[in-house]
Amino acid sequence: MSDTLRRADGARVLADLNALRSFGTYKTGVHRPTFSEAHRQSLDWLAARHPDAQLTAEIDGIGNVLGTSTKPGPKLLAGSHLESQNYAGWLDGPLGVVYALEAARVLNPDPSIAGAVEVASWCDEEGHFGAFLGSRSYVGDVSEADIDAARDRSSPRTMREALAEMGLAGRPRLQAERGRHIGYLEAHIEQGDTLEQSDLKVGVVTSIVGIWQYRIIFTGEQNHAGTTRMAVRKDAGLALAKFCLAIDARFPAACGPRTVWTTGRITLDPGAPSIIPGQAEMLFQIRDDDPAVIDRLEELLRELASQASAAGPCQVAVERIRTGAPAMMDGAFQDAIEAASSALAGGRSLRMPSGAGHDAQVLATIMPAGMLFVPSIGGISHHWTENTSDADIVTGADVFVDTCRRLLAGAAR
Amino acid sequence: MSDTLRRADGARVLADLNALRSFGTYKTGVHRPTFSEAHRQSLDWLAARHPDAQLTAEIDGIGNVLGTSTKPGPKLLAGSHLESQNYAGWLDGPLGVVYALEAARVLNPDPSIAGAVEVASWCDEEGHFGAFLGSRSYVGDVSEADIDAARDRSSPRTMREALAEMGLAGRPRLQAERGRHIGYLEAHIEQGDTLEQSDLKVGVVTSIVGIWQYRIIFTGEQNHAGTTRMAVRKDAGLALAKFCLAIDARFPAACGPRTVWTTGRITLDPGAPSIIPGQAEMLFQIRDDDPAVIDRLEELLRELASQASAAGPCQVAVERIRTGAPAMMDGAFQDAIEAASSALAGGRSLRMPSGAGHDAQVLATIMPAGMLFVPSIGGISHHWTENTSDADIVTGADVFVDTCRRLLAGAAR
C-alpha cells in the first residue's frame, strides 16, 4: 500500500474523451442514443480498453459494460454511462467512465496499491427506454417483464428488438455480488454553474435530490370563444396561469436554500383557438434533498389549490405522480474526495447536492456511494454546447484517481 | 301582395328538425361530419323536400344544396348548413335550413305573395375541410386548387376523395347569379345565454364579429430542471403565465362592451417534466365588431409584450396570424326581423352582434344579409347537450317566415 499521491495521465484522459466524441459526433457534442450504432461502437471501444487496466470486460444482456479484476484486495466500483441525450454534450456520461478507466489503469497494475478499481458503464442512464435500467438491473431491480414492456421513446422499436439488433439478446444480465465492492464512485459534470461562479474545481456531492412530481388539473367549462361573455366564463387555462403565479409568489418563502420547482408541460383541453378550455393540466416538479422541505411545499401546493378552488370559478386538483426519495452520499467518500481536492486542486472544492439524477443514487441502495463534480462552462447541460475546460477535466481526473487510491487504502487498512 | 301575417307550421318544423336528428344521432345530438354517410342522407332528405316549396333542388360539386324557383318577383335567399361539429348539437345548422324551407313552403305557393324564398344549405360551415368552403364557393371565392389542397381534419382523406365517395366528383359548382337575390337571411341558435338571461325570444343580429388571432412567443433559456438554480432561470412558461394575467388585468379597461378574448392553446417547448421550457407559445384571439376596439387592444397587447420583454428575463413577440373584418348586417333586414318580432314574439327581441362566424358573413360580401337568433338553453354550443325549447323554436319559425314575407313585400313595392 502506498500513501503517495497518484495522478491521472491528463493527455490520455483527453484523448479518450475525444475518441468517444467520434462516435455519433454532432457539432461539438454527440448524438448517441441508447442502442444506436454509435452507442454500440462506444461500448466496444470501452471493452477494448479494459485490458489496459488489467480488467476483463463483459457486455451483458442489458448493455452494461462491466470490468472485473482478479487482483487481491478491496474492489471499488466506478463508472458512469456512454449513451447521450439526443443531440447533446460530449461529457455527460463519458467523463465518469473515462475517469474510472483512468483510475483503474493507474492503480490496478500498481503492486503497491492493495485492491483494484472495477469499471462500469451503465446502460440507458439517459432514459431512452426507461429510468436507470442498466444500474437498476445490476442492483436487481429490473425484471424480464420490465424489459418486455420497455420501448424506445423516440422510435417504434421495443427494447427487446433493440437488444437483438445490438447482438445482446439472450445474454445474461450481470448482477451485483453482494459484499464484493467497498462502494461506488462516479464523476460527472456539474450541469449547473455553482462551481464556475465561485471559481471552484471540484463538487463533493452530499446527496442526490429526490424528485416529486405532480399532475395539477384545472376544471372549468368548455365553451364557444365567440359567444360566451367574459363575465360568465370558467376558463381552465386562465386558472392554470394564476396558479403558476401563486406558486411563484408563495414558494420562495417556504422552500429550502437549493429547492427547485418547474412546470415542464402545460396542456389546454381541447386546445383549439376558438374554444375556451374546459380543462387544463400542468406537470409540476419539486426537487430537494430534504424530505421535510418537500413535505412543507406539497402542503403549500395543496393549500394553494384549495384556495383557488374556493375562490373559483375553476376547480383545482393536485395529484402526486412520482415520489423520489433523495439518496445520501457516503460520508467517508465525501471525505476522500475532499482530501484529494486539498492535495490536487488547491482545496477548491465545495460540498453540494446534485439536482440531477445519476446512477449513483441506484448503486447507493446497495453500497456506499460517492460523486464528484467538475465545473460546467455556463452551467449548460443536455445541449451540444455543454463543455468543461481541458484544464478542469485534467484536475478532476487527478482528484478522481487519488480519491480511488484513498478509498482503497482506507479499506485495506 | 299580402300585408297579413304568415305563420309557420310549428309541428312541421319540429318534425323536420327531428327527422334531421335521425341522421347520425348521438345521444340527444348528432355526429354528422361533412361528407359522412349521415351528412349525405341529410342532403338527400333536404333535396327531396324542395318540391313541397315549389323549388327545384340541386346538389352541386361542393355539396351545397340550392333550390331555385320559377315564380316571378323578387327572390330571397335563405338557409344555413346541415353538417355538424363532431358529437355536437341537433340545431346548429339544421334550424336555419328548416326555417328557410318552412318559409319557402308557406310563401312560395301563395299567389298573394310576390316572389319566392330560395333555400340554400351551405356545405362545411363547420370547417371539417376548410373555412366556409360551401358559401365561399357560391360567392366565387374558392378555386379548384383550394379544393385540391383541402383535407379532412379528422381523417386522412382529401376533399377530392370525399367528394368522389359522395358521388359529387365532376359536378359543377353553382355560383351566385349577381342581382338575382334581394339578400340572404339566416337563422341560428344564439350559442350564448344573452336571450335566455333576459327572457327574450329573438336576437336581431347587427354584425358578425371579426376574429383577430395572434401567436405570442416567449423566448427564455432551456435548461435542466434539477441543476439550474431558481435565481438564474429564464422560464418561458412562467413568462407566458404572467402575460396571461397581464392581459386579464389590463384588457377589461380597454375593451368594448362585448369584446371577448381567449387563449385557446398553450405549448411549452420541449414540454418535458425535467426541462425548464426555453420557449413557450400561446394562441390568442380577440373578437369584436368594432375595428377601433380591436386596434386599441392590439396596441395594448404589443405594449404589454414590450413591457414584459423590457422587464425580462424572457423576450415576448406578438405575431398577428389572422385578421377578420367584421360583417355588418343590413339595416332593412334588421328592421324586418324586429317588426316580425313585434308582431309574433311580443316584441321580445334584442339587437346584438354575433360572436360566432356564420355563412351570412360570406354572403354579406355580395348581397344584403341578415340573421335572426333564437335562445340557447344555458348558452351551450358545440356540444351534444345544445338545445332550445320547442316553444322558442316555433316562435322563431313564425318570426322567420314573417320576416321573409316582409322582405319580399318591401322589394316588390
Give tens-digit pLDDT for B134-155: 999 999 999 999 999 999 988 8
Nearest to A264 among B213, B225, B356 (CB): B225
Cα(B258)–Cα(A359) distance, rounded to whole angstroms?
Answer: 58
Q: Which of residues 337-356 of A touch B (CB under 8 A)?
A: 354-356
* Residue B274 with chain A: CB contacts under 8 Å: 211, 262, 264, 285
Tally of helices (H runs) and strands (E runs) in chain A: 12, 17
Residue of A nearest to B322 (CA): A273
Indicate yes or no: CB of B224 within 8 angstroms of CB of A355. yes
Residue B313 has pLDDT above 90, yes or no: yes
Nearest CA among A410, A346, A402 for reference residue A372: A402
Indicate yes or no: CB of A225 within 8 angstroms of CB of B262. yes
* Residue A227 with chain B: CB contacts under 8 Å: 190-192, 354-356, 379, 381
pLDDT for the residue B3: 65
Amino acid at B162: A
Whether this model's ipTM surpasses 0.85 comes out as: no
Q: Say if residues B291 and B188 touch (Cβ distance below 8 Å).
A: no
pLDDT for the residue B190: 96
Distances (CA, A) of A361 to A69, A207, A331: 24, 8, 15
Average per-residue pLDDT in chain A? 95
Average per-residue pLDDT in chain B? 95
Mutate to test the interface with B, among A209, A224, A374 (most CBs of B within 10 A): A224
Query: What would the CATH number be for the domain defined by B10-209+328-412?
Result: 3.40.630.10
Residue A2 has pLDDT above 60, yes or no: no
Q: Which of residues 37-96 of B touch A (CB under 8 A)?
A: none
B210-323: what fold?
A: Alpha-Beta Plaits (3.30.70)
pLDDT for the residue A214: 97
Q: Which of residues 263-282 of B touch A (CB under 8 A)?
A: 263-268, 271-277
Separation in Å, CA of B114 to nearest CA in chain A = 37
Quick one: pLDDT band at residue A166, thresholds 50, 70, 90?
Answer: very high
* A231/B contact by beta carbon, under 8 A: no
| 3 state DSSP class of A286 | strand
CA atoms within 13 A on the CB side of B256: 17
Q: Which of residues 193-212 of A touch B (CB under 8 A)?
A: 193-194, 209, 211
How confident is the model over A255-296, as pLDDT tens digits?
999 899 999 999 999 898 888 999 999 999 999 999 999 999
pLDDT for the residue B403: 98
Mean pLDDT on A370-380: 96
Separation in Å, CA of A227 to nearest CA in chain B = 5
* A191/B contact by beta carbon, under 8 A: yes
* Residue A223 with chain B: CB contacts under 8 Å: 379-381
Residue whose cell numbers read 443514487: A361
Distances (CA, A) of A96 to A101, A102, A358: 9, 10, 11
Mutate to test the interface with A, among B91, B224, B352 (most CBs of A within 10 A): B224
Indicate yes or no: CB of B225 within 8 angstroms of CB of A287. yes
* B368/A contact by beta carbon, under 8 A: no
Report the DSSP beta bridge partners of residue A117: A76
Mean pLDDT on A190-210: 95
* B227/A contact by beta carbon, under 8 A: yes
* B151/A contact by beta carbon, under 8 A: no
* B189/A contact by beta carbon, under 8 A: no
Determine whether A175 is exposed, middle or buried from the number of CB atoms within 10 Å of its CB (0-12, 13-18, 19+): middle
Q: What are φ and ψ of residue A37, in 5° steps?
A: -60, -40
Nearest to B356 among A224, A259, A265 (CB): A224
pTM: 0.79
Indicate yes or no: CB of A261 within 8 angstroms of CB of B227. no
Question: How is chain B split into domains, by residue range?
Answer: 10-209+328-412, 210-323
CB pairs under 8 A between A and B: 179
* B235/A contact by beta carbon, under 8 A: yes
Residue B287 has pLDDT above 60, yes or no: yes
Tally of helices (H runs) and strands (E runs) in chain B: 12, 17
How confident is the model over B99-118, as pLDDT tens digits?
999 999 999 999 999 999 99
Residue B44 has pLDDT above 70, yes or no: yes
pLDDT for the residue A3: 66
Q: Which residues contact B347 (CB under 8 A, 6 or more apart)?
A: B341
Find the helix or strand (DSSP H, E) in which A66 lies: strand A65-68
Q: What are φ and ψ of residue A121, in 5° steps?
A: -120, 115
Cα(A189)–Cα(A393) distance, rounded to whole angstroms?
Answer: 9
Mean pLDDT on B365-394: 95
Nearest to B264 among A240, A267, A274 (CB): A274
pLDDT for the residue B59: 98
Distances (CA, A) of A392 to A83, A350, A353: 22, 15, 20
Strand blocks (E) in A171-314:
181-189, 202-208, 210-219, 223-224, 260-269, 275-276, 279-288
Determine whether A408 is exposed, middle or buried from the number of CB atoms within 10 Å of its CB (0-12, 13-18, 19+): buried
* Residue A258 with chain B: CB contacts under 8 Å: 229
| 3 state DSSP class of A212 | strand
Residue B1 has pLDDT above 60, yes or no: no
pLDDT for the residue A325: 82
* Residue B245 with chain A: CB contacts under 8 Å: 241-242, 245
Residue of A nearest to B271 (CA): A265
Nearest to B226 among A235, A248, A355 (CB): A355
Residue of B nearest to A285 (CA): B273
Quick one: pLDDT band at residue B323, thresholds 50, 70, 90?
Answer: confident
Residue whose cell numbers read 324564398: B117
Q: How many CB atoms lie within 10 A of CB B361?
A: 25
Residue of A nearest to B237 (CA): A263
Indicate yes or no: CB of B355 within 8 angstroms of CB of A242. no
Nearest to A228 among B192, B213, B266 (CB): B192
Mutate to test the interface with B, among A227, A230, A371 (most CBs of B within 10 A): A227
Q: Say if residues A302 and A365 touch (Cβ distance below 8 Å).
A: no
Residue B90 has pLDDT above 90, yes or no: yes
Indicate yes or no: CB of A227 within 8 angstroms of CB of B356. yes
Mean pLDDT on A16-34: 97
Mean pLDDT on A344-362: 96
Residue A1 has pLDDT above 70, yes or no: no
* Residue B259 with chain A: CB contacts under 8 Å: 230
Cα(B328)–Cα(B395) distance, rounded to whole angstroms?
Answer: 25
Residue A359 has pLDDT above 60, yes or no: yes
* A383/B contact by beta carbon, under 8 A: yes
Cα(B399)–Cα(B355) distance, rounded to whole angstroms?
Answer: 22
Separation in Å, CA of B77 to nearest CA in chain A = 25
Q: Say if residues A62 and A147 touch (Cβ distance below 8 Å).
A: yes
Indicate yes or no: CB of B227 within 8 angstroms of CB of A381. yes
Pick the CATH number of A10-209+327-412 from 3.40.630.10, 3.90.380.10, 3.40.470.10, 3.40.720.10: 3.40.630.10
